[in-house]
Amino acid sequence: MLPIAAFFIQSCNEVNSDKKELVIPKMPASVDAVKAEIKNKSYEVIDVGTIDLFNEFNWASASKDTSKFYTDYIAERKGFTLQFLNDSTAKANDEKKIFEATYNLEKDTSAAVLLNLQYVDSSFSFNPGEPMMMTSTYKIRGIDNNSLLLETPREMNRRKVILLMKKK
C-alpha cells in the first residue's frame, strides 16, 4: 500500500511542477481604486483561460490541447487589447477591429468590479445603414500596478473566458 501512495504523491508533484505559475493580481479594493489604476494605461493579453465550476482558473499556457480550434481561439483572444484614454473613454482592439468606447465602472455583487464598454458597431445592425450601440460587460477580478484580470462575456466549452493582461 505504501508504494502505491508514494507513486500517487510523486505523480501529483510532477503535474504541479509542469504548470507555469502565473501571478494573479488581487481582487479590486473598490471602484475608485480601479478607476485610478486604469486611467491612461494600456493592457495586452499575456494568457487566456477559463473558469471552471469550482471557480478555478485553467490557463491556456498550461493546456496540452493542440487542436486547431483551440489554438486559433487562444491566438484570437491574445490579440485583444484595452487602452484607457482617460476616466471615461477607451479603445478596444478585438478580432482585429478597433472600437472607440466610453466606459463606466460599477460594483458587482461579488468582490469584482464591472467594466461596461459602450461602443458603436457598424458591422451589427437591425436596420441597414444604422450602426448599433453595443455594450460589453467585463468583470475585473484582479488588478495591480502592472496587470489586470478580466472575466469576459465570452464562453468556451460552457466556461467563462478570462484574460490575464499586462500593462504595455
Number of H helices, E strands in the chain: 3, 9
Check residue 96 and report its DSSP letter. T
pLDDT in tens, 122-137: 777 778 778 889 999 9
Classified as helix, coil or strand, 59 is: strand
Put residue 147 in one of left, alpha, beta given phi > 0 → left and psi -120 to 50 → alpha.
beta
Q: Where are the domains of the chain?
A: 25-167
Between 53 and 113, name the one with better pLDDT.
113
Contact, 41 vs 34, CB < 8 A? no
Nearest to 131 by CA among 120, 141, 144: 120
Q: Is the dihedral of CA 85, 90, 94, 96 positive or negative?
A: negative
Backbone phi, then psi, for 34, in 5-degree steps?
-65, -45
pLDDT score recorded for residue 8: 36
pLDDT in tens, 79-104: 999 999 999 999 999 988 899 999 99
- The CATH architecture one would assign to domain 25-167 is Beta Barrel (2.40)
pLDDT in tens, 8-57: 333 333 333 344 578 999 999 999 999 999 999 999 999 999 999 888 99
Nearest to 33 by CA among 163, 145, 118: 145
pLDDT score recorded for residue 20: 55
Tell me the pTM. Answer: 0.82
Res 1 pLDDT > 80: no
Q: Taking all residues of the chain, what is their mean pLDDT, rounded to a whole number?
A: 86
Contact, 117 vs 103, CB < 8 A? yes
Res 145 pLDDT > 60: yes
